[in-house]
A and B are shown apart, each in its own frame.
Chain A
Amino acid sequence: MEGLLFWFCGGFLLLGGLMMVLQRSAVVSAVWLVFAFICAAGIFAVLGGVFLAVMQVLVYAGAIMVLFLFVIMMLQGPVLEGERKLMPVGMWPLIAVPPVAVLLLITGYLRSDATVAFAAAPPAGFGTVEAVAGLLLGRYLLAFELISIVLLVALVGALALGRGERNQPWK
């Protein structure tokens, strides 16, 4: 059952990513990315992170991607003019170098039989809201508070940028 879910979700995750890259329209790309994120939520669920899976759908596929779509709607017509042309063929090998290198590494790694198996079952309560909340407000309290400050700063920064230059208080 776990294996089946992994292949299913993993396969569609990759497909979603690829389609996002290959589509010329930003809106279509965004929709494929939502699809990929939902598949990623499935992967989290397979790994026992139920709370993560929920958050992935709510925050990522929901909130963040909606933000993207809003901006796309504001800024962009259907397809960006420059996106119509492909990269020149001469550039392809150059662009292929890093991914090929990493792919080579992965295949080499797979051949080496250095696979690591998981424990038969995760500990009781693993990945539940209660367990994550305990860690978040216990062991990682400081990080939790700091990340809230990061969010706050981002909020203020986004506001300041979004106001437009004419409305800046220092102008």
Chain B
Amino acid sequence: MQSEILLRWIVLVPLLGAALNGLLNRRLSKQISGLLACGAVGVSFVMSVLVFLRLTGMEPESRLVQDTLGTWMHLGAFRVDLTFAMDQLGAVMALVVTGVGFLIHIYSLGYMAHDDGFQRYFAYLNLFIFAMMTLVLGGNLIMLFVGWEGVGLCSYLLIGFWFNEDANASAGKKAFIVNRIGDFGFLIGMFLMGTTLLPHLGAGEGVFNFQVLHAHAGVLAPVATAVCLLLFVGATGKSAQIPLYIWLPDAMAGPTPVSALIHAATMVTAGVYMIARLNFLFVLSPTALAVVAAVGAVTAIFAATIALAQNDIKKVLAYSTVSQLGYMMLACGVGAFSVGIFHVMTHAFFKALLFLGSGSVIHAMSNEQDMRVMGGLRTRLPITYATFMAATLAIAGVFPFAGFFSKDEILWKAWSGGNTLLWAIGFLAAGLTAFYMMRLVVLTFFGENRASSEVRKHIHESPATMTVPLIVLAVLSLVGGWIGWPHFMGGGSWFEQWLEPVFASGAQIGAHGAHTGVATVDVLVQNAQMNHAAAEALHETGVEWTLAVVSVLWAVLGLVLGWFVYYKRATIADGFKKAGGGFVYRLLLNKYYVDEAYDAAFIRPGYRLSRSVLWKGVDAGLIDGVLVNGSALAVYLFGSVLRLFQNGMIRFYAWTFTIGVAVFVLYLSFSS
């Protein structure tokens, strides 16, 4: 079969699954429903692999498979095609999304087995895969945006999945609204891009097509900073960066596999993907890249500190996700897009594993999420413990786990780009990551079990449908990073090489811009060169070795400290709480009071405005008073006049009829 045609089915098969599950719902038995959903994603995964294999057989420069279903919109010069395209970047994302998605579907079979909304859950989950695949395989920015909104919708639906609890519904709404703020920026950025580009297009060129955007990147150079910053606003919403990260921790109200799939592994990386996809645009604006890098770095350290003090196991992981997303943004911001995507991939493995592991724990603990009443689960949940440990080592960045390769690479790019400050922040956050992850592990798996005896009786290892995905992901967390084994360690940086054609041209545009006087990023030019000769030169200096060793040691130090503080000398942990009069601890526990600050700054004034002006003034006064009651009054008055004519007297009707005829005749005779 032609592999072009496979592309549409990669996207549409999950939609089919969603439609079947969503429409037939309870009429399907749980077995069939689960089979359908997992099968749809599995088929999608297999097809992704097939297309990927076809890509590997192509010349590195021309690796692109396109599938056009037709024209979606065509208005004058504005044209949008229904195109799916898979290049190296799309292939990586597609494999990660469908692969991890498939594992999480399998896991969900076990996790959601006793839930009433089983079919609805899988309908949403399949719909999510559909939207996410539209996002990563869309051949133009509009398709990407459709997927972007689609995953937002699924996220909302799944956060509020157990909607009969108020808090869950509120969390869903919060996620949706905060994302809308980001999307607002995204849309404005797209409009700006479109209006700038439209006059320069040739015939038949779809304005938002990525290739067209790429070819005309020079035209966009004057507005690149504005466009990129606006798009980045969208990315901060979707990828939970400062200042719009606040929805992600609350999003943990959804089922845990959802947290793993949507709010850790795939959807939240959409912002990173979007920036990587539009790398040729971002390299035109050093300002925008600097902002991306700075926001990423600050988010990384900021969220990591909050994670230190959280007691909810999923909240810790949520802030950890925010922090790791900061890393990805940092990588993109210093121009190392391929490394950012690399971290997206490895993070998808180990963070999905962490969430699924926590799901397994929560499952065993009868839906208890507070780590303070856990502990000692190591012996009771051996598989969960072992896999969780693997993920912890991976996220901490211990060699040779996956996280080491990507995180070390990010820090190295920051360092080699001359951004010592960014490197320092990232480095510090890495240590914190190791520390709070160890805290989590210790509180959950070590020590005495602090649960009530009732709960303790029910602690059991999860069924095979849940442990098998855990094991697969654990293996991936270990070996998944090896495809990016760096040059200096004798590897080939294969991952980077694979993505190079996607980003090299972006770097060229940047370099070209430098020559033609367009402001550009020196770092980028450096990076572009570094990929080849410079990398060898730096390799000899041993700096890279040194940094790698230091960061591994730093991670191990963080782990050991975490172990020591929370296991060996628990008094020290109590001491932390009291340090600085307990102020620091309370600050962290309450997440720097950011939610409260937003509440005071935006939400309460919004309420007040709504209450006084919009409700009392506009709604009650204008709409109810003038429009609704006013129109009713007008109709009443008119009717009370008309009612005089409706008296049932045929002769009266005839009389009015003759009057009408008389008037008509008189008018005709006098008007001529």
Are chains A and B touching directly in their complex (CB below 8 angstroms)? Answer: yes
Interface residues of A (CB under 8 A from B): 94-95, 97-98, 101-102, 105, 108-109
Report chain B residues within 8 Å CB of A94. 655
**Does chain A have a CB within 8 A of B50?**
no
Q: Once the chains bind, are B669 and A98 in contact (CB under 8 Å)?
A: no
Taking A97-B659, A101-B662, A101-B666 as known contacts, 8 extra A-B pairs with beta carbons closer than 8 A to each other, sorted by chain A number, are A98-B655, A98-B659, A98-B661, A98-B662, A101-B663, A101-B665, A102-B662, A108-B669
Given contacts A94-B655, A95-B655, contact A105 B661 (CB under 8 A): no
Report chain A residues within 8 Å CB of B662. 97-98, 101-102
Report chain B residues within 8 Å CB of A105. 665-666, 669
- Report the minimal beta-carbon distance from A96 to chain B, rounded to whole angstroms: 11
- Report the minimal beta-carbon distance from A163 to chain B, rounded to whole angstroms: 25
**Does chain A have a CB within 8 A of B56?**
no
**Does chain A have a CB within 8 A of B211?**
no
- Report the minimal beta-carbon distance from A98 to chain B, rounded to whole angstroms: 4
- Report the minimal beta-carbon distance from B658 to chain A, rounded to whole angstroms: 4
Bound-state Cα–Cα, A105 to B666, Å: 7
Bound-state Cα–Cα, A108 to B666, Å: 11
Most interface-central of A94, A95, A97, A98 (chain B CB within 10 A)? A98
Bound-state Cα–Cα, A136 to B168, Å: 83
Report chain B residues within 8 Å CB of A108. 669
Report chain B residues within 8 Å CB of A98. 655, 658-659, 661-662
What are 13 A-B pairs at a CB distance below 8 A?
Answer: A94-B655, A95-B655, A97-B662, A98-B655, A98-B658, A98-B661, A98-B662, A101-B662, A101-B663, A101-B665, A101-B666, A105-B665, A108-B669
Identify the closest chain B residue to A94 (Cβ): B655
| A-B complex: 6 closest residue pairs judged by Cβ atoms | A98-B658, A98-B662, A101-B662, A105-B669, A98-B659, A101-B666
Identify the closest chain B residue to A87 (Cβ): B651
Q: Once the chains bind, are A109 and B669 in contact (CB under 8 Å)?
A: yes
Bound-state Cα–Cα, A109 to B670, Å: 11
Report chain A residues within 8 Å CB of B663. 101
Bound-state Cα–Cα, A102 to B304, Å: 95
| A-facing residues in B644-672 (Cβ within 8 Å) | 655, 658-659, 661-663, 665-666, 669
Bound-state Cα–Cα, A98 to B666, Å: 10
Report chain A residues within 8 Å CB of B665. 101-102, 105
- Report the minimal beta-carbon distance from B649 to chain A, rounded to whole angstroms: 11
Bound-state Cα–Cα, A97 to B655, Å: 10
Bound-state Cα–Cα, A109 to B662, Å: 15
Report chain B residues within 8 Å CB of A95. 655
- Report the minimal beta-carbon distance from B152 to chain A, rounded to whole angstroms: 60
- Report the minimal beta-carbon distance from A45 to chain B, rounded to whole angstroms: 29
Report chain A residues within 8 Å CB of B659. 97-98
- Report the minimal beta-carbon distance from B605 to chain A, rounded to whole angstroms: 65
Bound-state Cα–Cα, A102 to B665, Å: 8
Bound-state Cα–Cα, A109 to B659, Å: 20
Bound-state Cα–Cα, A102 to B662, Å: 6
Bound-state Cα–Cα, A39 to B655, Å: 28
Bound-state Cα–Cα, A2 to B579, Å: 129
- Report the minimal beta-carbon distance from A39 to chain B, rounded to whole angstroms: 24
Report chain A residues within 8 Å CB of B658. 98
- Report the minimal beta-carbon distance from A157 to chain B, rounded to whole angstroms: 21
Bound-state Cα–Cα, A98 to B669, Å: 15
Bound-state Cα–Cα, A88 to B665, Å: 28
Bound-state Cα–Cα, A121 to B662, Å: 35
Bound-state Cα–Cα, A61 to B662, Å: 29
Bound-state Cα–Cα, A102 to B666, Å: 8
Report chain A residues within 8 Å CB of B666. 101, 105
Report chain A residues within 8 Å CB of B661. 98
Report chain B residues within 8 Å CB of A101. 662-663, 665-666
Bound-state Cα–Cα, A109 to B669, Å: 9
- Report the minimal beta-carbon distance from B447 to chain A, rounded to whole angstroms: 88
Report chain B residues within 8 Å CB of A109. 669
- Report the minimal beta-carbon distance from B670 to chain A, rounded to whole angstroms: 9
Report chain A residues within 8 Å CB of B655. 94-95, 98
Identify the closest chain A residue to B661 (Cβ): A98
Bound-state Cα–Cα, A94 to B652, Å: 11
Bound-state Cα–Cα, A109 to B666, Å: 11
Identify the closest chain B residue to A108 (Cβ): B669
- Report the minimal beta-carbon distance from A11 to chain B, rounded to whole angstroms: 24
Bound-state Cα–Cα, A108 to B661, Å: 18
- Report the minimal beta-carbon distance from A82 to chain B, rounded to whole angstroms: 11
- Report the minimal beta-carbon distance from A80 to chain B, rounded to whole angstroms: 14
Bound-state Cα–Cα, A94 to B658, Å: 11
- Report the minimal beta-carbon distance from A57 to chain B, rounded to whole angstroms: 29
Bound-state Cα–Cα, A137 to B655, Å: 40
Bound-state Cα–Cα, A105 to B661, Å: 13
- Report the minimal beta-carbon distance from B528 to chain A, rounded to whole angstroms: 86
Bound-state Cα–Cα, A95 to B657, Å: 12
Identify the closest chain A residue to B669 (Cβ): A105
| A-facing residues in B614-672 (Cβ within 8 Å) | 655, 658-659, 661-663, 665-666, 669
Bound-state Cα–Cα, A103 to B659, Å: 13
- Report the minimal beta-carbon distance from A108 to chain B, rounded to whole angstroms: 8
- Report the minimal beta-carbon distance from A27 to chain B, rounded to whole angstroms: 21
Bound-state Cα–Cα, A39 to B663, Å: 30
Identify the closest chain B residue to A95 (Cβ): B655
Bound-state Cα–Cα, A8 to B666, Å: 30
Most interface-central of A94, A95, A101 (chain B CB within 10 A)? A101
Report chain B residues within 8 Å CB of A102. 662, 665
Report chain A residues within 8 Å CB of B669. 105, 108-109
Bound-state Cα–Cα, A105 to B665, Å: 8
Bound-state Cα–Cα, A97 to B661, Å: 11
